[in-house]
Every structure is written in C-alpha cells, then in structure tokens.
Amino acid sequence: MKNKQQVLQLTVSYIVILAMITIILYPILWIVGSSFNPGNSLSGSSIIPENATLKHYKELFDREQSDYLLWYWNTIKICILTMLFSVALVSMTAYSFSRFRFIGRKNGLMTFLILQMIPNFAALIAIYALANLTGLLDTHLALILVYTGGAIPMNTYLMKGYLDTIPKELDESARMDGAGNFRIFWQIVMPLAKPMIAVISLFTFITPFTDFILARILLRTEEKFTLAVGLYELIADQFGNEFTLFAAGSVLIAIPISLLFLSLQKYFVSGLTAGGTKG
C-alpha cells in the first residue's frame, strides 16, 4: 500500500513538472521558430517552421533597414553600468546595515522593505519631471540612475541577509591586525559575498533588457533607444506587420543574459538561498 502511494505521488509530481516545463518552454520555442519563419505574421508560425530562413536576422543587422546594432549597444552599455553601480552601492549600504548599529537603522530597513513593494512605473510622472528639470531627459544617464536607485531597496535587504551569515569574528580579527573598515569590507567581506554579488549582478543586468515603460518615457530620439523601445518602434513603423522580425530581435536579446547566467551559475543557487536570512 505504501509503495502504491509513493508511485502515485511520484507520478503526480512528474506530471506537474512536465506541465510546468511545457508551459515555460513552449512560448520560447514558438518565438524561436517564428524568427525563422519566412513570412511576416506569427499566426502561421510553428515551432519547426517550413522553409526556415535567416532573412529576419540579416535585416536586423542591415543598417539601412534598422538601427538594431546601435540599440543593442545602448542596452548593453546601460545594463553594464547599472549592474556596476548597483552592486557597489548595494554592497556598501548592506555592509553598513549589517556591521554597524546607528540611529534609524531599523527604520531604514523597514523603509527599504516598503519601497521594494512600489514599482518604478508608479512614479512615472515624478521621474519624468525630475529628468526634465535636471536636463537628463533623453539621456542614458537618466535610465541608469532610475534603474540603480530602484535596485537598491530589495537588493540591499538580500545582501544584508547574506552578510549577516558571515561571522563577525573575521572582522574583529582583521581589526586587531590593524585593518580599517574599508579594508575589511573590500578584502574580507566582499570575497566571501561573491554568491550574493552574482545574484544582484544578474538581477540588475536583466532589468534594462526587460524594461519598456521607463525607457519609452525618458528616451526620445531613435539613436538613444534601447532594444525594447527600438523593436517596438520598428514594428510600429511597419504598421505591425513585422512580427517575425520582432521575434528575431527578441531571440538575440537572450544571448548576453544567458552568457552572464552561465558564467555566474556556480554562485547563483547558494547566493539566492542564503540571502533570505534575517538579522
């Protein structure tokens, strides 16, 4: 009887897992297949298209037909700078909350928890007004600042939870040897926090790739567009008749994200699970 229950449980588990895999992979495979479809419509596309062609990928790299490469470079630049600034600011902020006791510490952490529940697009009017007043409208710097600021609350809380798991005795031993706070932070704590740094790096790198609303509001000229805005404008200019071209552009977006994930994979699982520790 017990064996039958175990077999039934395993069968149900495998069915659920297979269903979830199908739900996740089918849209991805469909978009990839559509990018090789010789037509322009997605309605007749399939996972394995007939008469597959690289025509749409060639069109993307043709400067006379689109500025896809320029949009790609703009997005990569914004992603890298956002990732670097976010990791630096989050690491220093989380280290302060983890290692020091000061007035307003608990209130600050509570504020971060509240702020992470508010999406950036909820403050679109304020962001647009500030960008306009500071002369940052239609600049990549405006996007970088918004993405970096939006990444601080949630990621600070994750990083602090991870730093709390690093023994403070290491700090005390280094301090007895004459090390200052910055040296302890840079040479002792940060090397041990590589798993969480990898998690934050991946999260903050992905955000500019996947965001459309903020980039559409702040960017005005075509040469400043990110991939999300550029691809949208590309099919909008064609009266919505270039969906397979859009699919090809979307497939190429996954390349840098996949490369970064694979390079950080060995740190990713441990960092994501340990970051939930409260302290």
pLDDT at 120 (0 to 100):
67
Assess if residue 87 is contained within a domain. yes
Assess if residue 61 is contained within a domain. no
Residue 135 and residue 28 share a domain: no
Six-digit token string for 58: 């060639």
Give the range of the structural domain holding residue 203, as residue numbers without chain letter. 67-274
Residue 94 and residue 8 share a domain: no
The answer to whether 26 and 239 are in contact (CB under 8 A) is no
Six-digit token string for 268: 């990713």
Query: What does pLDDT average to over the chain?
Result: 84
pLDDT-wise least confident of 54-68, 206-220, 238-252: 238-252
Q: What is the pLDDT of residues 34-55, one digit of tens each?
A: 888 877 666 555 677 777 788 8
The answer to whether 212 and 229 are in contact (CB under 8 A) is yes
Assess if residue 260 is contained within a domain. yes
pLDDT at 46 (0 to 100):
63
Q: What is the pLDDT of residues 158-174, one digit of tens each?
A: 899 889 988 888 888 88
The answer to whether 78 and 143 are in contact (CB under 8 A) is yes
What is the amino acid identity at position 266? K
DSSP alpha helix (H) spans, 164-276: 169-176, 181-184, 190-192, 194-210, 213-218, 227-237, 243-274
Q: Considering only residues 44 and 224, tell me which one the structure prediction assigns the higher pLDDT.
A: 224
* Cα–Cα distance for residue pair 37/247, rounded to 1 Å: 10
Q: Considering only residues 2 and 181, tell me which one the structure prediction assigns the higher pLDDT.
A: 181
Residue 191 and residue 77 share a domain: yes
The answer to whether 248 and 53 are in contact (CB under 8 A) is no
pLDDT at 219 (0 to 100):
93
Q: What's the average model confidence in pLDDT over 204-219?
A: 91
pTM for the whole structure: 0.84
**Looking at the predicted structure, is the pLDDT value of residue 140 above 50?**
yes
pLDDT at 263 (0 to 100):
86
The answer to whether 152 and 82 are in contact (CB under 8 A) is no
* Cα–Cα distance for residue pair 65/38, rounded to 1 Å: 17
pLDDT band at 275 (very low <50, low <70, confident <90, very high): very low
The answer to whether 208 and 147 are in contact (CB under 8 A) is yes
pLDDT band at 269 (very low <50, low <70, confident <90, very high): low
Q: What's the average model confidence in pLDDT over 241-270?
A: 82
**Looking at the predicted structure, is the pLDDT value of residue 205 above 90?**
yes
Q: What's the average model confidence in pLDDT over 11-19?
A: 91
pLDDT at 134 (0 to 100):
93
**Looking at the predicted structure, is the pLDDT value of residue 240 above 60?**
no
Residue 90 and residue 193 share a domain: yes
pLDDT at 249 (0 to 100):
87
Assess if residue 62 is contained within a domain. no
Q: How many CA atoms lie within 13 A of 250 on its CB side?
A: 21
Closest CA to 131 of 264, 224, 30, 16: 224
Q: What is the pLDDT of residues 81-136, one digit of tens each?
A: 999 999 999 999 999 999 988 888 888 888 887 877 777 667 888 899 999 999 99
Residue 77 and residue 45 share a domain: no
Residue 160 and residue 93 share a domain: yes
Residue 119 and residue 77 share a domain: yes
The answer to whether 194 and 202 are in contact (CB under 8 A) is no
Q: What is the CATH number of the domain that holds 128?
A: 1.10.3720.10
The answer to whether 257 and 206 are in contact (CB under 8 A) is yes
Residue 182 and residue 106 share a domain: yes
pLDDT band at 279 (very low <50, low <70, confident <90, very high): very low
